[in-house]
Copies of this chain bind each other. A is one copy, B any other.
Amino acid sequence: MGKGLTKRSENYSEWYNQIVSKADLAESSGVRGCMVIKPYGFAIWEKMQAELDRMFKETGHQNAYFPIFIPKSYFSKEASHVDGFAKECAIVTHYRLKNSEDGEGVVVDPDAKLEEELIVRPTSETIIWDTYRKWIQSYRDLPILVNQWANVVRWEMRTRLFLRTAEFLWQEGHTAHETKDEAMAEAEQMLHVYAKFVENFMAVPVLKGTKTESERFAGALETFCIEALMQDGKALQAGTSHFLGQNFAKAFDVKFATKEGAQEYVWATSWGVSTRLMGALIMTHSDDYGLVLPPKLAPIQVVIVPIYKTPEEFESISNYAIVLVNELKEKGVSVKFDDDDNKRAGWKFAEYEMKGVPIRLAIGPKDIDQGTVELSRRDTPGKEGKQQVSQNGLADVLCRTLDEIQVGLYSRAKEFRAANTTSVDTYEEFKQVLKEKGGFILAHWDGTPETENKIKEETKATIRCELMDTEDEAGVCIYSGNPSARRVVFAIAY
């Protein structure tokens, strides 16, 4: 089954790679670490983009576009940024090719060397704050609530489609504020926007929390994050929102005149999610038969496959299908009637199963006679999810079923997370759970980077976050035995 897909239990990583390939989501390109996002995969990303963009605008943000290149010197201006940020990036040193002397191709023209090298943006804080200096003079110019949809490049050594690629697509919000409180509120607000999107649209439950100092974004005073749990028990950071304090304003000399006439540095936030979300989507819902998509992000929500032998049979099925298609389209359902005569119904079933289409309708001559269709739900593959339903009021039934699938996927993922979240009180227990079960582990930590590092070195588990809405609970650190005020969330992460 599943067109020869490796089972998750056999090799989760291989299963993931095969889904990405067989569901036509993405593939590797001729450029090391850079991916091609195929039309079907891109259609899912477009749906994510559209909803996120709507949510950003609803919260008062506007889009803009900043240069892809950043002069090398900009990176040195914010000390913790350059120190903390990975230095693996694509560097442009020349601006011209010329014909090679042997006439066989082109070579870099050594005379066309840039005076200052340009970095292909790994993130845009520096170029954007260099721009904001020109935009901000007084409190009247604040807040600036800007987002950009862009490609960024980080020269990763080990890449995996969607999860870690040299080039990826993302959005990065960069806001500027009068006060610390306002900036902090913005950073928190955007984390809640992300959580709402990921839970309601991707049907992926997330923990909301803050990063420890050592896991923070370079240049940030506080990093808020959402963390999701994948089926293999590993955590995936799905989005981050940073309170940057006045660090970038100071580095790029961005001051504003207050209402009282004083000159003060501007407060900043930045926040982003990326095509990595595609990885989270795949690894939360999909099964051994292929991709499983929540209806809100499915490029095709309902597919209709006709089962026929004669042209007359096809015609009567087709007549009904066309009416249903129009009815569904009017209700805003994305529907495809697959009338391709070159492919067998069985091939189509496997194809749409692999591609995660939430509902499949099969219609044969008998169905036409009886006024029924065969409805199969992708979230419950096999016989269990298959039923004969009446053509009467079918469009409404399908809409309700899509809603049910959306909610059901979320509940299932949340149950999985609950079953794979463990509280431990000793380091032995911690290591045992990590080894045998994985998942999120709630444990006491003494708050020091030293302990955090030791645990990471010894177990590969990292502190994913300190939960935002957790209660204090005095305890002792599982590693050092020192006092701890509350538990934090550990996991092995993607």
Chain A residues within CB distance 8 Å of chain B: 27, 29-31, 34-39, 42-43, 46, 62-76, 82, 87-98, 104-106, 108-109, 117-120, 127, 130-131, 134, 140, 146, 150-151, 153, 155, 167, 169, 342
Shortest beta-carbon distance from A61 to chain B in Å: 9
Closest B residue, CB atoms, query A65:
B37
The residues of B that contact A167 with a CB separation of less than 8 Å are: 67-69
- Given contacts A87-B98, A92-B90, A151-B151, is CB(A43)–CB(B63) below 8 Å? yes
Q: A36-B66, A97-B119 are in contact. List 9 more A-B contacts (CB 8 A).
A: A29-B127, A34-B67, A36-B67, A46-B63, A68-B151, A69-B90, A89-B96, A90-B95, A93-B93
The residues of B that contact A62 with a CB separation of less than 8 Å are: 39, 42-43
The residues of B that contact A119 with a CB separation of less than 8 Å are: 97
CA distance A39 to B29 in the complex (A): 33
CA distance A69 to B167 in the complex (A): 9
The residues of B that contact A134 with a CB separation of less than 8 Å are: 27
Q: Report whether B72 and A106 are in contact in the complex, using a CB–CB cutoff of 8 Å.
A: yes
CA distance A209 to B93 in the complex (A): 39
Q: Report whether A67 and B35 are in contact in the complex, using a CB–CB cutoff of 8 Å.
A: yes
The residues of B that contact A70 with a CB separation of less than 8 Å are: 31
- Given contacts A106-B72, A167-B67, is CB(A93)–CB(B94) below 8 Å? yes
CA distance A198 to B143 in the complex (A): 35
Q: Report whether B31 and A67 are in contact in the complex, using a CB–CB cutoff of 8 Å.
A: yes
Shortest beta-carbon distance from A122 to chain B in Å: 10
Q: Report whether A68 and B153 are in contact in the complex, using a CB–CB cutoff of 8 Å.
A: yes
Q: Which of B64, B87, B106, B131 contacts A96, CB < 8 Å?
A: B87
- Given contacts A29-B67, A127-B29, is CB(A89)–CB(B82) below 8 Å? no
CA distance A127 to B92 in the complex (A): 19
Q: Report whether A38 and B64 are in contact in the complex, using a CB–CB cutoff of 8 Å.
A: yes
The residues of B that contact A87 with a CB separation of less than 8 Å are: 96-98, 106, 109
Selected A-B contacts with CB under 8 Å, 16 pairs = A29-B66, A29-B130, A30-B71, A36-B64, A36-B66, A36-B131, A39-B63, A68-B151, A69-B167, A73-B105, A75-B97, A75-B105, A76-B106, A91-B93, A91-B94, A150-B151
Q: Which of B109, B146, B151 contacts A39, CB < 8 Å?
A: B146
The residues of B that contact A92 with a CB separation of less than 8 Å are: 90-93, 120
Q: Which of B30, B43, B97, B151 contacts A127, CB < 8 Å?
A: B30
Closest B residue, CB atoms, query A74:
B30
Shortest beta-carbon distance from A137 to chain B in Å: 14
Shortest beta-carbon distance from A215 to chain B in Å: 22
User: Which 5 residue pairs spanning A and B have beta carbons closest together?
Assistant: A76-B105, A34-B67, A39-B62, A37-B65, A87-B97
Q: Report whether B97 and A108 are in contact in the complex, using a CB–CB cutoff of 8 Å.
A: no
Shortest beta-carbon distance from A335 to chain B in Å: 15
- Given contacts A93-B93, A95-B89, A96-B88, is CB(A31)–CB(B69) below 8 Å? yes
The residues of B that contact A97 with a CB separation of less than 8 Å are: 72, 75, 87, 89, 91, 119
The residues of B that contact A96 with a CB separation of less than 8 Å are: 87-89, 91, 155
The residues of B that contact A140 with a CB separation of less than 8 Å are: 342
Shortest beta-carbon distance from A87 to chain B in Å: 4
Shortest beta-carbon distance from A15 to chain B in Å: 22
CA distance A167 to B120 in the complex (A): 12
